[in-house]
């Protein structure tokens, strides 16, 4: 959903093909990161001490990596199929160009980020009483997200 929102606005099939090519590069990067996560999880099993925490993290890395590889590969397969079939490409371009769906996605993203920020701020307030490590982690994550939002806002102000 988010990747489709980032590459919207294709007026012709050729423009849509270019956007799909850019999307394909991101998917390949995601699949590569998934493979690296799986490798890190496997390496963690053999290199790190045999503790419950390391076993848990190895499982998380392998699971998240596998999910990234499977979902990315499925999306790449669908995209490859689309690029070879002009009628399927046109149908998908029209479907993705639907203004109502686009607007719903934008509103859902904005509202989701607002909820996330309020939850992070609540977490910052509560964690300050219990753990400074958690406090600083939440603070850094919230500040990072705020900087990303401001940076993308400045980018789109210059672009549009």
Is it the case that residue 1 has pLDDT exceeding 60?
no
* Per-residue three-class SS string for the chain: CHHHHHCCCCCCHHHHHHHHHHHHHHHHHHHHHHHHHHHHHHHHHHHCCCCHHHHHHHHHHHHHHHHHHHHHHHHHHHHHHHHHCHHHHHHHHHHHCCHHHHHHHHHHHHHHHHHHHHHHHHHHHHHCCCCHHHHHHHHHHHHHHHHHHHHHHHHHHHHC
Summarised one tens digit per residue, pLDDT across range 119-155 is 999 999 999 999 999 999 999 999 999 999 999 999 9
- The overall average pLDDT reported for the chain is 88
Summarised one tens digit per residue, pLDDT across range 45-89 is 999 888 899 899 999 999 999 999 999 999 999 988 888 888 888
């Amino acid at each position: 959903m988010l990747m489709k929102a980032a590459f919207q606005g294709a007026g012709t099939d050729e423009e849509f093909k270019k956007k799909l090519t850019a999307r394909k590069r991101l998917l390949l990067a995601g699949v590569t990161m998934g493979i690296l996560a799986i490798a890190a999880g496997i390496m963690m099993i053999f290199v790190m001490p045999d503790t419950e925490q390391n076993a848990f993290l190895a499982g998380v890395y392998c699971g998240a990596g596998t999910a990234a590889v499977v979902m990315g590969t499925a999306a790449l397969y669908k995209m490859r199929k689309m690029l070879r079939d002009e009628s399927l490409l046109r149908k998908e371009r029209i479907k993705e160009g639907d203004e109502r769906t686009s607007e719903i996605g934008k509103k859902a993203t904005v509202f989701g980020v607002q909820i996330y920020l309020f939850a992070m701020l609540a977490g910052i307030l509560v964690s300050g009483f219990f753990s400074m490590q958690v406090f600083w982690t939440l603070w850094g994550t919230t500040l990072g997200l705020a900087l990303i939002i401001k940076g993308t806002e400045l980018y789109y102000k210059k672009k549009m």
